[in-house]
Amino acid sequence: MKWTALLSVAAAVVGSFLAFTQHASGHTDEKVPPNYEVQIPAGYRDWKLISVAHEAGNLNDIRAILGNDEAIKAYREEKFPFPDGTIIARLAWKYVPSEENNKVFGSEQSFVAGSPTNVQFMVKDSRRYSATGGWGFAQFTNGKPLNEAEPKPCFSCHEPAKARDFIFTHYAP
């Protein structure tokens, strides 16, 4: 990696961060209901891995939970509650068997990520989202927000994890 490439990366990181903070700290756009204000954070697909999971049943997905630098730092240092600025992204894909892999293993055992289902974000801002444990919630399918999902229902499911700052996912070492 050359320094020029590195500086590009650095610039992208700073840009993403500024883009986010501008949004998060800006005045509420009157056209956007505050409940739906969480946007897709720039560069989230590049974030570090927190853990992975599989939801069977109706969801039938396989998922990865990624975190921005604040999230990863808090997880690794086990410093909870998460600081303001933390964003956690939950990506999910259809849970599909891999015939190609099964042939190699000689057994029907391999399941991989198919097409994406939706992406969810939790954004920590203890003042702005004080009514929902300090977290703003959002879900996007093909880049479009799920406007029907008010933060309250998202939050009510996360309430049992209050002792871990409303986050279920444990860091996978």
Residues that bind its own copies (CB under 8 A): 1, 3, 6-7, 9-10, 13-14, 17, 45-46, 48-49, 51-57, 59, 62-64, 66, 69, 91, 93, 95, 98, 100-101, 103-105, 107-113, 116, 157, 160-161, 168-170, 172-173
Residue 159 contacts residue 132 (beta carbons within 8 Å): no
The residue (of 34 and 42) whose beta carbon lies closer to its own copies is 42
Q: Is the peptide bond before 116 cis (omega within 30 degrees of 0)?
A: no
DSSP class of residue 32 equals S
Nearest distance from C-beta of residue 133 to its own copies, angstroms:
15
Nearest Cα residue to 49 out of 76, 72, 25: 72
Residue type, 77: E
Nearest distance from C-beta of residue 112 to its own copies, angstroms:
5
The residue (of 32 and 45) whose beta carbon lies closer to its own copies is 45
The residue (of 22 and 104) whose beta carbon lies closer to its own copies is 104
Nearest distance from C-beta of residue 88 to its own copies, angstroms:
14
The residue (of 30 and 99) whose beta carbon lies closer to its own copies is 99
Nearest distance from C-beta of residue 48 to its own copies, angstroms:
5
Question: What gap in Å lies between CA 17 and CA 15, rounded to an integer?
Answer: 5
Residues 6+ apart with CB under 8 A from 79: 73
Tokens of 25: 């700290």
